[in-house]
Amino acid sequence: MEYMVDSNNIIINRLCDFDIEHILECGQCFRFYKKSDKDYIIVAYDKILRITQDKDEIVFHNIDEEDFNSIWIKYFDLERDYTSIKKILSDKDEHLHRAVTEKDGIRILQQDTWETLISFIISQNKSISHIKKLIEDISKRYGTYIGEEDEIKFYSFPTIEQLSQATEQDLRDLKVGFRAPYIADACRKVINDEVNLSRLADMNIADAKNELMKIKGVGPKVADCVLLFGAKRYEVFPTDVWVKRIMEHYYFENDTKIKVIHEFAVEHYGTLAGFAQQYLFYYARDFKIGKK
């Protein structure tokens, strides 16, 4: 990865297949704040990062080379060749071609598994803006203060040990509603090693999914999201209402079962199903494809 160091900033020129707006707004992550167009603050891995983009020049503000190399190259998946992925997907069919062309700057972030697990447990039956607020409140209450930016105090996402301090009632007080016992069960099973998050990346994909679904409140869709966004398992295809809508619109009739759609996608997109899903999801949501 070629980059320049300029005072406290790290600058990458001519990076293709990278659009910071697409990456952050496509629904895969929740801890980011838009300052203005292509100017964001991100909280991840106990760090605060301000990132700006002007066409193909990307600036990582106030970070050292060590963090850049050890955290942010992986986080932004900078070593993956998205041009090839996009070409393969575009050649599959015209629908995917359109989604990939429209949302050409998406990258799948490599996020922390634990944070992804709790985030997507929270995500069920919630709008993205509210998911963001709940995760923020949980971090403020149980995470660690990590610094200030624009006079806003930022807190890391709580560790397993930190979040395990919360009782079910504590969680209800944070307005997570019926998800409180789900989060509590995730804490319990992960801290007792009944569910092992560190092995998800290497397990057989069906086993990995079942491992996550041992947790109450984790079904097929949440498990797929954790595997894709938090465990680098790109062969999954999280099938939610938006993906169902766009798939019905392009490939099926209305009222097709999620199971049928899911099986088709895993077969049709293969090892790139996760990437395909994210282009389709963001495209569908942004243009309200298939929404009645």
Partner DNA sequence: GGCCAGGCCATCG
Partner DNA sequence: CGATGGCATGGC
Binding flag, residue 23, DNA (CB under 7 A): no
Measured distance CA(71)–CA(69) in Å, rounded: 6
189 is an interface residue for DNA by CB under 7 A? no
* The two three-digit tokens of residue 3, written as one number: 């980059």
End-to-end CA distance of the chain: 44
Binding to DNA by residue 175, rule CB under 7 A?
yes
| 111 token code pair | 């996020």
CA–centroid distance for 124 within its chain: 14
Q: Which of 68, 242, 269, 275 binds DNA (CB under 7 A)?
A: 242
Nearer to DNA, 163 or 227 (CB): 227
- The correct pick among 243, 261, 266, 273 for binding DNA (CB under 7 A) is 243
- What is the DSSP secondary-structure string of 73-109? HHHTTTTS-HHHHHHHHHHH-HHHHHHHHHTTT----
> Which is the catalytic residue, given 189, 209, 221, 244?
221
* Residues with Cβ within 8 Å of residue 55, at least 6 apart in sequence: none
CA 8 to each of CA 5, 41, 49, 262, 269: distance values in angstroms, whole numbers, following the listed order = 7, 16, 12, 46, 42
CB of 277 to DNA, least distance (A): 6
CB 28, min distance to DNA, A: 5
Smallest gap, in angstroms, from Cβ of residue 222 to DNA? Answer: 3
Among 8, 257, 263, 287, binds DNA (CB under 7 A): 257
Asked whether position 130 contacts DNA by CB under 7 A, the answer is yes
- Is residue 260 part of the contact set for DNA (CB under 7 A)? no
- Closest CA relative to residue 117, chosen from 173, 179, 205: 179
Q: How far is the CB of 2 from DNA (least distance, A)?
A: 30
Among 18, 22, 23, 28, binds DNA (CB under 7 A): 28
From candidates 216, 232, 249, 268, binder to DNA by CB under 7 A: 216
Binding of DNA by 178 (CB under 7 A): yes
For helices 273-287 and 241-250, the axis angle rounded to 10 degrees is: 90
Binding status of residue 232 toward DNA by CB under 7 A: no
Whether residue 87 lies in the annotated active site: no
* Residues recorded for the chain: 292
Residue 222 binding DNA, by CB under 7 A: yes
* Interface with DNA, residue 278, by CB under 7 A: yes
Give the dihedral sign, CA 124/259/264/234. positive
Total residues at interface with DNA (CB under 7 A): 38
Which are the catalytic amino acids? 221
Interface residues with DNA (CB under 7 A)? 26-28, 123-131, 172, 175, 177-178, 213, 216-223, 225, 238-243, 257, 277-278, 281, 285, 291
